[in-house]
Amino acid sequence: MGDHLDLLLGMVLMTSPVFGISPCWFDGRMAIYHFCNLTQVPQVVSTTERLLLSFNYIRTLNTSSFPFLEKLQLLELGTQYTRLTIDREAFRNLPNLRVLDLGGSQIDFLHPDAFQGLSHLLELRLFSCGLSDIVLKDGYFRNLKSLTRLDLSINQISSLYLHPSFQELNFLKSIDFSLNEIHTLCESELTPLQGKTLSFFSLAKNKLYKTSSGDWGKCMNPFRNMVLETLDVSGNGWTVDTTGNFSNAISGSQIFSLNLAHHVMGSGFGFNNIKDPDQNTFAGLARSSVIHLDLSHGFIFSLNSLLFGTLKDLKVLNLAHNKINKITDQAFYGLDNLQILNMSYNLLGELYNSNFHGLTKVAYIDLQKNHIGIIQDQTFTSLRKLNTLDLRDNALKTLNFIPSISTIFLGSNKLVTLPKINLRATFISLSENRLENMDDLYFLLQVPHLQVLILNQNRLSSCNHRPTSAKNLSIEQLFLGENMLQLAWETELCWDVFKGLSHLQILYLNNNHLNFLPPGIFSDLTALRGLSLNSNRLTVLSSDDLPSNLEILDVSRNQLLVPNPDLFVSLSALDITHNGFICVCELSPFINWLNQTNITLFGSPADMVCTYPDSFSGISLSSISTEGCDEEEVLKSLAFSLFILFTVAVTLFLTAVLMVIKLRGFCFICYKTAQRLVFKDHPQETEADTYKYDAYLCFSSKDFEWVQNALLKHLDAQYSDKNRFNLCFEERDFVPGENHIANIQDAVLRSRKIVCLVSRHFLRDGWCLEAFSYAQGRCLSDLNNALIMVVLGSLSQYQLMKHQSIRGFVQKQQYLRWPEDLQDVGWFLNKLCQQIVKKGKKKKKDNNIQLQTIATIS
Ligand SMILES: *[C@@H]1O[C@H](CO)[C@@H](O)[C@H](O)[C@H]1NC(C)=O
Ligand SMILES: *[C@@H]1O[C@H](CO)[C@@H](O)[C@H](O)[C@H]1NC(C)=O
Ligand SMILES: *[C@@H]1O[C@H](CO)[C@@H](O)[C@H](O)[C@H]1NC(C)=O
Ligand SMILES: *[C@@H]1O[C@H](CO)[C@@H](O)[C@H](O)[C@H]1NC(C)=O
Ligand SMILES: *[C@@H]1O[C@H](CO)[C@@H](O)[C@H](O)[C@H]1NC(C)=O
Ligand SMILES: *[C@@H]1O[C@H](CO)[C@@H](O)[C@H](O)[C@H]1NC(C)=O
Ligand SMILES: *[C@@H]1O[C@H](CO)[C@@H](O)[C@H](O)[C@H]1NC(C)=O
């Protein structure tokens, strides 16, 4: 029952503040009456331990308000919408109450005996109750023997004269007076606290000492004889003078952690009229054993010499969010024990060798979010204990050194390359830089004892192949997401980048435009447990691709159309959502596996949907039945039976919406079929011409296989009887042994059209470019457009224009691009056929022939 109710409660609590719907509910131990329009305490069972009555209209509390609740430990009465009157001994019937919360309720009348009888009360929350000084002066808290925490923040208290009974509160540890109106504080006011050790004392945001001045002699030390673990005097707008006078006044009191944040010390940027703190400002703290000093959120522009000279015990110094631009020589002298220095969010532009002198024990320097563009190379060398350096979000373009410390953050800079120096580190983050050359990756992987390397969001893409000494490399986690490894790998270089990483456990390769995985790329990764290939363009995964001990694999957002489930059986978790599955019978092993697998599948079924055939488009794999895909019939039958869980209307709607985009390929085929039927009775005359070939296909031999599948099989007559074109290409039609140029010239002259299939390989192939120029020459001499250019893959205009002959063509004439979407291929091929049969302008003729070529395509 418990679980069920918690769930219910969660739902109601979420909605109730908005809609005023009441749960108003209790069980044996807990009673919740938020927003229940109560005007008095409800009847609850005597076993109740927590009673939550906030957000109601309770007006009075007196001895008879509560039934006797011996077990009650927590009572919340905060935020009553009426003004509250609390009579004497109002909580008398709650003898074991530990926490009483009245925060946010406006208390009009509080009887001095209101809290009497609460001898076990640990925590009293009276924040924002409209209370004045009287609550301290008149002994309201006497006899609260166990009281540990007292919250009186956000009231109208203006002076801290404490009733002598505070002396008896032996367990009192934490008092919060923040956001009151305490403008002065003198020794006489806090005498009842003398001799005590408090863990927390807050006077934050009171405008303390803002107006008074010159009373320091009379006022003496408010914290005399006290030990304060944390004193919070932040947000009082203190100047250098006030801070100096305060430090002197409290001299000798032990304060381990002093919070002076949100001050107004310092000249700020571009001003001179307000002083920066100097060596006198904190001198008074010499005997206070301050370990932690917070000076963040101010206007300090220059760290003056010997500023912290007396703070021998200081271990943590927070200077974040100031305007520090200058670090004077000897600024940190005296901080012999400092371990953590936080100078983030300042205005530092450069670091000099002498800046951190004196910090002999510093272990962590946080310099993130400055504007550091240059660092002198000995800056960190004298800091023997330094182990963490945070230089994130600066403006570093180059580094000529990297300190050999264990943890280095260099993310979000502008680094283009790294110095090749001896380096030791266990953690290096270089995310969001501009590293481009894989050499930097090879270099970093060699760093001895490196465990974590973060290189997300760089531009790793170029590879100067060089032999690597794949030793026993120590790296365990490698983050390479959002780079451009595809560009490196498609040159067939850098395929050994993961060699020797036998300790690697986690590898991120997401968002790298990968459309293939180099063979054996992961073969050394015997310890790899987690691999992310998220958001790439992979279309197939084979069992050789995946490392043998992989447990968690993320291949979501790829183009795995028909994944093979055998690949995944040894995993413990898999994310394969957002792939464009093709729902034909070949997919049924995968669908069946999904239905019964034990492994954790990330994402919801709605993220695994078919994209093809169109009738299944958008339908979740989990609602598809594989019945009818018998094993012997797998290849034959494309028919799936389909459960549509909701109404047919939903499907119709979806189909209609997707029609224009998704069905364009299908529509085209219908159109063509119809056209062919109409034209059947009007056979086209084939014109006889002098050319031996219809077209010469010029492409790089590296693309042969692709060309064969994508073009030759659909166009060339020798590949299929249904095709009508007589094509010419090097692999088949060139005369062996004859001069290559002669072959090319021959092919160009004897073909009606020259189709150049311009791919990345094409651009690198001298013969192809030669053929291109030659064909272009023929166009000029014959004054026709015999040359057809088809761009394959994602070559940019810029890449094309780099080659002179192609530039000339591109500037004058149109070229074709191979379509990205599979369903557009039919349309494209048809267009290409038309171009091939088209006559040049010179001999004008009917170019409407042989549209039926298309019939061979689908
Ligand atoms: C409380 O009063 C408001 C206004 O009259 C009403 O809308 C709301 O439903 C009441 N809530 C309960 C729990 O009775
Ligand atoms: C307590 O308050 C209630 C409601 O205002 C009132 O009816 C009752 O008489 C009071 N009891 C005492 C003992 O004052
Ligand atoms: C600081 O103390 C000096 C000497 O007691 C006094 O002259 C000065 O006004 C004080 N400054 C402030 C801001 O309280
Ligand atoms: C330094 O201060 C910034 C800003 O307050 C904070 O985000 C960061 O975590 C701090 N660094 C350390 C090491 O505490
Ligand atoms: C490889 O390195 C690990 C620690 O990184 C070490 O324990 C192991 O002995 C090394 N093996 C060889 C063959 O060097
Ligand atoms: C999933 O498997 C269960 C049996 O384990 C079977 O009853 C159910 O029909 C299957 N669902 C689909 C969609 O194949
Ligand atoms: C599912 O897990 C159980 C126990 O962990 C195991 O016996 C069973 O073979 C697993 N089934 C599959 C399909 O992996």
CB-neighbour burial class of residue 112 (10 A; exposed 0-12, middle 13-18, buried 19+)? middle
Please give the pLDDT value at position 585. 86
Tell me the CA–centroid distance for residue 509 and ligand 7, in Å. 30
Cα–Cα distance, 741 to 725 (Å, whole number): 24
Cα–Cα distance, 370 to 395 (Å, whole number): 8
Q: Dig out the tokens for 314 from the structure.
A: 């200081």
Strands (E) across 686-844 are located at 693-698, 727-728, 751-758, 787-791, 816-817
Residue 781 has pLDDT above 90, yes or no: no
- State the ligand closest to the CA atom of 321: 4
Q: Residue length, the chain? A: 858
CATH code 3.40.1180.10 for 693-851: no
Cα–Cα distance, 445 to 470 (Å, whole number): 10
Q: How confident is the model over 485-491, as a mean pLDDT?
A: 92
Cα–Cα distance, 650 to 641 (Å, whole number): 17
Q: Dig out the tokens for 803 from the structure.
A: 């080659």
* pLDDT band at 2; cut points 50, 70, 90: very low
- Work out the mean pLDDT of the chain and round it to a whole number: 85
Please give the pLDDT value at position 405. 94
Q: Nearest-CA neighbor of 554 among 525, 575, 535?
A: 575
Report the 10 Å Cβ neighbour count for 310.
Answer: 20
Residue 434 has pLDDT above 80, yes or no: yes
Please give the pLDDT value at position 301. 96
Ligand 4 atom closest to the CA of 364, numbered from 1: 13
Q: Nearest-CA neighbor of 126 among 84, 95, 71?
A: 84
Cα–Cα distance, 306 to 330 (Å, whole number): 6
Q: Identical fold at 233-403 and 693-851?
A: no
Q: Mind listing the pLDDT tens digit for each residue in 64-107? A: 999 999 999 999 999 999 999 999 999 999 999 999 999 999 99
Please give the pLDDT value at position 413. 97
Q: State whether the beta carbon of 523 lies less than 6 angstroms from ligand 3.
A: no
Cα–Cα distance, 644 to 35 (Å, whole number): 44
Cα–Cα distance, 353 to 381 (Å, whole number): 9
Residue 4 has pLDDT above 60, yes or no: no
| Pocket lining for ligand 2, CB < 6 angstroms | 60, 62-64
Contacts of 745 (CB under 8 A, 6+ apart): 774
Please give the pLDDT value at position 663. 55
Ligand 6 atom closest to the CA of 591, numbered from 1: 14
Residue 445 has pLDDT above 90, yes or no: yes
To test ligand 7's pocket by mutation, which of 598, 599, 600, 601 has the most ligand atoms within 8 angstroms of CB? 598
* pLDDT band at 10; cut points 50, 70, 90: very low
Q: Name the residue with the closest Cα to ligand 6, atom 9.
A: 625
Cα–Cα distance, 624 to 316 (Å, whole number): 61
Please give the pLDDT value at position 838. 75
Tell me the CA–centroid distance for residue 140 and ligand 2, in Å. 21
Q: How many helices (H) and strands (E) does the chain have?
A: 18, 42
The domain ranges of the chain are: 233-403, 693-851
Residue 437 has pLDDT above 50, yes or no: yes
SS (H, E, C) 393-418: CCCCCCCCCCCCCCEEECCCCCCCCC
Q: Which residue has the tokens 């040894």?
A: 570
Q: State whether the beta carbon of 236 lies less than 6 angstroms from ligand 3.
A: no
Sign of the dihedral through C-alpha 497, 502, 503, 508: positive
| Pocket lining for ligand 6, CB < 6 angstroms | 595-596, 625
More confident: 11 or 340: 340
| Pocket lining for ligand 5, CB < 6 angstroms | 472, 474, 503
Q: Dig out the tokens for 505 from the structure.
A: 């456990």
SS3 call for 611: strand
Provide the whole-model pTM: 0.72
Tell me the CA–centroid distance for residue 231 and ligand 2, in Å. 43
- State the ligand closest to the CA atom of 238: 3
Percent of the chain with pLDDT over 90: 59
Q: State whether the beta carbon of 389 lies less than 6 angstroms from ligand 4.
A: no
Cα–Cα distance, 58 to 85 (Å, whole number): 9
Q: Name the residue with the closest Cα to ligand 3, atom 6.
A: 214
Q: State whether the beta carbon of 214 lies less than 6 angstroms from ligand 3.
A: yes
Determine which of 80-94, 183-197, 435-449, 843-857 has the lowest per-residue pLDDT on average: 843-857
Determine which of 66-80, 180-194, 262-276 has the lowest per-residue pLDDT on average: 262-276
110, 87 contact by CB (below 8 A): no
Determine which of 28-37, 190-199, 247-256, 719-728 has the lowest per-residue pLDDT on average: 719-728
Q: How confident is the model over 330-341, as a mean pLDDT?
A: 97
Q: State whether the beta carbon of 594 lies less than 6 angstroms from ligand 7.
A: no
DSSP 238-274: --HHHHHHHHHHTTTSEEEEEE--S---S--TT--SS
Q: Nearest-CA neighbor of 189 among 166, 215, 214?
A: 166
Cα–Cα distance, 753 to 748 (Å, whole number): 8
Ligand 2 atom closest to the CA of 65, numbered from 1: 1
Cα–Cα distance, 579 to 536 (Å, whole number): 10
Please give the pLDDT value at position 147. 97
Please give the pLDDT value at position 470. 64
Strands (E) across 599-674 are located at 600-601, 610-612, 624-625, 641-642
Q: Name the residue with the closest Cα to ligand 1, atom 7.
A: 20
Q: Mind listing the pLDDT tens digit for each residue in 536-562? A: 999 889 888 899 899 999 999 999 988
Determine which of 212-221, 317-326, 403-412 has the lowest per-residue pLDDT on average: 212-221
* pLDDT band at 425; cut points 50, 70, 90: very high
- State the ligand closest to the CA atom of 245: 3
458, 418 contact by CB (below 8 A): no
To test ligand 1's pocket by mutation, which of 12, 37, 38 has the most ligand atoms within 8 angstroms of CB? 37
* pLDDT band at 689; cut points 50, 70, 90: low
Q: How confident is the model over 235-258, as a mean pLDDT?
A: 95
Q: Name the residue with the closest Cα to ligand 5, atom 5.
A: 474
Q: Which residue has the tokens 């009287």?
A: 134
Tell me the CA–centroid distance for residue 598 and ligand 7, in Å. 6
Q: Which residue has the tokens 């390989």?
A: 761
What residues pair up with 757 in beta bridges, in sequence order?
Answer: 790
SS (H, E, C) 8-26: HHHHHHHHHHHHCCCCCEE
Cα–Cα distance, 583 to 625 (Å, whole number): 10
545 to each of 251, 273, 480, 487, how far by Cα in Å?
69, 67, 18, 19
- State the ligand closest to the CA atom of 265: 3
SS3 call for 204: coil
Q: Dig out the tokens for 440 from the structure.
A: 């930097």
Q: How confident is the model over 816-837, as a mean pLDDT?
A: 81
How large is the greatest C-alpha to C-alpha distance in the chain, in angstroms?
119
Cα–Cα distance, 249 to 169 (Å, whole number): 26
CATH number corresponding to 233-403: 3.80.10.10
Q: Which residue has the tokens 């760089």?
A: 458
Residue 684 has pLDDT above 50, yes or no: no
* pLDDT band at 308; cut points 50, 70, 90: very high
Q: Name the residue with the closest Cα to ligand 5, atom 11.
A: 472
Q: Mind listing the pLDDT tens digit for each residue in 567-592? A: 998 899 999 999 989 888 889 999 99
Tell me the CA–centroid distance for residue 566 and ligand 7, in Å. 15
Residue 283 has pLDDT above 50, yes or no: yes
Q: Name the residue with the closest Cα to ligand 3, atom 3.
A: 214
What residues pair up with 201 in beta bridges, in sequence order?
Answer: 175, 231
User: What is the distance between the terminal CA atoms of the chain, rounded to a whole angstrom?
Assistant: 61
Report how far Cα 31 is from the mean position of its chain's Cα atoms: 41
* pLDDT band at 14; cut points 50, 70, 90: very low
Q: Over the range 628-661, which residues count as b (16 or more CB within 10 Å of their CB) and which as e? A: ebeeeeeeeeeebeeeeeeeeeebeeeeeeeeee
Ligand 4 atom closest to the CA of 390, numbered from 1: 13
- State the ligand closest to the CA atom of 36: 1
Please give the pLDDT value at position 676. 54
389, 413 contact by CB (below 8 A): no
| Pocket lining for ligand 1, CB < 6 angstroms | 20, 22, 24, 36-37
Q: State whether the beta carbon of 598 lies less than 6 angstroms from ligand 7.
A: yes
Ligand 6 atom closest to the CA of 643, numbered from 1: 13
* pLDDT band at 700; cut points 50, 70, 90: confident
To test ligand 6's pocket by mutation, which of 583, 588, 595, 624 has the most ligand atoms within 8 angstroms of CB? 595
Cα–Cα distance, 317 to 293 (Å, whole number): 5
Q: How confident is the model over 664-670, as a mean pLDDT?
A: 56
Tell me the CA–centroid distance for residue 502 and ligand 5, in Å. 10
Determine which of 613-617, 647-651, 677-681 has the lowest per-residue pLDDT on average: 647-651
461, 441 contact by CB (below 8 A): no
Ligand 5 atom closest to the CA of 449, numbered from 1: 5
Please give the pLDDT value at position 670. 56
Q: Mind listing the pLDDT tens digit for each residue in 586-635? A: 899 999 999 999 999 998 888 999 988 888 888 899 888 888 776 544 33
Contacts of 456 (CB under 8 A, 6+ apart): 431, 432, 479, 480, 481, 482, 483, 508
Q: Dig out the tokens for 681 from the structure.
A: 């009775």
Q: Mind listing the pLDDT tens digit for each residue in 137-186? A: 999 999 999 999 999 999 999 999 999 999 999 999 999 999 999 999 99
Q: How confident is the model over 324-341, as a mean pLDDT?
A: 96
- State the ligand closest to the CA atom of 407: 4
What residues pair up with 192 in beta bridges, in sequence order?
Answer: none
Tell me the CA–centroid distance for residue 792 and ligand 5, in Å. 47
Q: Name the residue with the closest Cα to ligand 5, atom 4.
A: 474
Tell me the CA–centroid distance for residue 626 and ligand 6, in Å. 10
Please give the pLDDT value at position 792. 85
Tell me the CA–centroid distance for residue 548 and ligand 7, in Å. 19
Ligand 7 atom closest to the CA of 597, numbered from 1: 13
Tell me the CA–centroid distance for residue 75 and ligand 2, in Å. 20
Cα–Cα distance, 176 to 83 (Å, whole number): 23
Q: Which residue has the tokens 């079929």?
A: 673
Q: How confident is the model over 369-388, as a mean pLDDT?
A: 95
Tell me the CA–centroid distance for residue 139 and ligand 2, in Å. 24
More confident: 809 or 56: 56
